[in-house]
Amino acid sequence: MADPALQMIAEGICELLGFGIAAINVVRGDEVEMVAIHGFTSGLNAAHGRRETAEEVLGARWPLADVQINLSRGENWGAWRFIPHDRVNLHEGSWVSTTNMIDAPDAWHPHDMLLAPIYGDDGSLQGCLSIDMPVSGRRPDFTQRRVLNRFAKRARRVVLGYIERERLYERAANLETAKEFLRDASSKLSLADVLDASHDALIRGLGADGIWMATKGPRRAMVVHATPGLDWEPDPGLAALTARNTTRYWAEGTYAILCRDRITDSAEWNEQAAVVDRFFETLGAESALVVPVGADHEWLGHIVLLRSPGRPTWTDAEGRLAMELGRDFGRIVLTANAYTQERDLAQQLADADRERNQLIEAVARELRIPVNALGTSLAALSDEQPNTLPWIVQVETLTVRSAQIEGIVSDLLLLSRISDPANAPGQTTIEVSEMLDDVLDELDPDAAQKDIECVLTTPTGPAYVVGDPRELRAAFLHLVKNALTYSYRGSRVQVMLYSAGSEVTIIVADAGVGIAYEEQSEVYKPFYRGTNSALGGSRGAGLGLTLVDQITSRHHGLVELDSRPGEGTRVALTLPGVS
């Protein structure tokens, strides 16, 4: 069934302008289709000579090239092209009148053809009007041609409107399919998965050659999605301008149509005109439809829909359709981000639960040995006479084990404290060499027991940092204590303090057993203890370097470890210094 508006045009040509037949044809790819016809009962098809009715001809198609050949052979009558019978290229879609010619110099020949080509705004052929069988039997004179031209100009607007409506109906149907797909997919996929899975549907639904999209992710950072093959390194200036413009577009409920050759004319985009032009060139695009993405009152990003050279420029009708997609995408972004946040939170809770269980197991394991030793010593003590040698040995064992338990508990409490973001470190100005002297004094009995010489050198003089005295002292203590534990008897542990510019560096170096290369990336993990044995003393709970690393990080510093098995270990702790 013909479109009513087009059918009225065909009827008007016949009844008002005096022609026996009028047809309207539109381009469908590389073919032409007859979409409206009026005025004759039957005629002969030029291809096979069979008589056809209007109902049979309606919807017929034939090659676009045949129409273009006839237009090229026609005389220019303004909006019309008159093709005399001796120049006409009869083709499958040609209809031949069976009426007799009148006997006159300007008589209309049954093979004469009169076409009005309809061109789009981009200059491409979109369709044509075709008329035949003038009631007068004569070719139109000058006065009739003027009337025909005026009518053709009005008809052009109606036909182009029909073609645009067709395109939009198709776009709307495809867009609705894409939206349904997105709504179904968004309930079970992340945003990136939804976009990847629905890309082809979006391309069809919007008639785009490519899509460039940036939306807020679950952590508010912008996440970019693009058609595969669109290689563009985001430019900070253009990204900021696009965010600013599309934020306003969302608030105003509008969009922007950009053409490469008119960027400098746009007050909204000309400040980044050179970058926008490079964007078009890099992605092989000629026009873009920029649409905001949002939900309720919140802007969430933007979609840039691209079309290549030779494709129709974006229209306002397409912009309005794309705005619906922007609203749907906004809801999808919120849903996908909520899904991602819930998934991440569930993973964090699972990780925290696993770490808690590991901590409980590690604490139980570390405390079991000294607690069992305490029980054994207490049982043995009850069998000994006070102040005898065996009794004194058991008391000393109890003292050592108690100190070991106290050390583990203290380290655990400190680890708990510094792991809590709510507990910010103190801000006290500390003279580092004094604190290092104090640490060495405390560990002097341990060093003497192994005949190890601990030497502190300060080549650059006093050095000052701002931080938490308790935490920093614990970090220095564990560094030196580790060096003593894994050093050979009679060796040396060097502690060096350097101040250079805005940094203070503390280096603790030993010539002990070292750390295996494959273990060096693990030593900062809680309760990790390497395979090398302590030399002349017990190993700790495996929290020393964990505490050093976390304390240094809390003080905006850096820990660097350099260790060679069998040669020794060197640990450098660098902190921000103060004058």
114-158 pLDDT, tens digit each: 999 999 887 889 999 999 888 899 999 988 899 999 889 888 888
pLDDT greater than 60 at residue 58 = yes
Considering the domain boundaries, does residue 383 fall inside one?
no
**Residue scoring higher pLDDT (348 or 294):** 294
Residues 104 and 194 in one domain: no
Identify whether residues 423 and 567 lie together within a single domain: yes
User: What is the Cα Rg of the chain in Å?
Assistant: 43
pLDDT of residue 296: 83
Is the CA virtual torsion 332, 337, 340, 345 positive or negative? negative
- Whether 171 has a pLDDT exceeding 50, the answer reads yes
Mean pLDDT confidence for 458-473: 88
Give 536's pLDDT tier (boundaries 50, 70, 90). very low
**Average pLDDT score over residue span 71-89:** 92
Dump strand ranges (E) for 389-518. 428-431, 453-457, 464-467, 492-500, 503-510
Percent of the chain scoring above 70 in pLDDT:
81
Report, as an integer, the average pLDDT of 40-68. Answer: 70
228 & 310 share domain: yes
Q: How does residue 181 score in pLDDT terms, banded at 50, 70 and 90?
A: low
158 and 227 assigned to the same domain: no
Q: Say whether pLDDT at 400 is over 50.
A: yes
Find the mean pLDDT for residues 203-212.
83
- Report the pLDDT value the prediction gives residue 526, as an integer from 0 to 100: 75
At 369, is the pLDDT very low, low, confident or very high (cuts 50, 70, 90)? low
Q: Is the pTM of this model over 0.85?
A: no
Answer yes or no: do 269 and 136 share one domain: no
Q: Which of 289 and 121 is assigned the larger pLDDT? A: 289
Query: Any idea which of 67-81, 246-260, 274-288, 514-528 has the lowest mean pLDDT?
Result: 514-528
Taking alpha carbons only, the member of 173, 180, 184 closest to residue 206 is: 173
| Domain co-membership, 161 together with 208 | no
Residue 227 DSSP SS3: coil
362 in a structural domain:
no
- Same domain flag for 213 and 316: yes
Q: Does pLDDT of 189 surpass 60?
A: no
CATH number at residue 512: 3.30.565.10
Specify if 385 maps to a domain: no
Q: Which tens digit of pLDDT belongs to each residue from 480-532?
A: 998 998 889 999 999 999 988 889 999 999 988 888 888 888 888 776 666 66
Token digits of residue 265: 């004319």
Q: How many domains does the chain have?
A: 3
For 31-35, 125-129, 379-383, which range has the lowest pLDDT when averaged over its residues?
379-383
- Please state, in angstroms and rounded to a whole number, the distance separating the CA atoms of residues 472 and 507: 14
Residue spans of alpha helices (H) in 469-532: 469-485
Consecutive H or E run containing 403: helix 389-419
148 lies in the same domain as 194: no
User: How does the average pLDDT of the chain come out, rounded?
Assistant: 82
Q: Which CATH number belongs to the domain containing residue 302 in this structure?
A: 3.30.450.40
pLDDT given for residue 532 in this prediction: 61
The verdict on 153 and 252 lying in the same domain is no
Q: Is residue 350 assigned to a domain?
A: no
406 belongs to a structural domain:
no
Mean pLDDT to the nearest integer, 270-276: 91
Q: Which residues contact 38 (CB under 8 A, 6 or more apart)?
A: 7, 10, 11, 13, 14, 21, 22, 23, 54
Residues 193 and 330 in one domain: yes
Residue 366 lies in a domain: no
Last residue of a domain, one of 299, 321, 342: 342
In a domain, 200, yes or no: yes
Look at residue 365 and tell me if it is in a domain.
no
For residue 248, pLDDT beyond 50: yes
DSSP 8-class letter at 74: S
- Same domain for 50 and 162, yes or no, is yes
76 in the same domain as 201: no
Q: Are 551 and 470 in contact (CB under 8 A)?
A: no
Give the range of the structural domain holding residue 91, as residue numbers without chain letter.
4-167
Residues 400 and 103: their CA atoms lie apart, in Å, by: 133
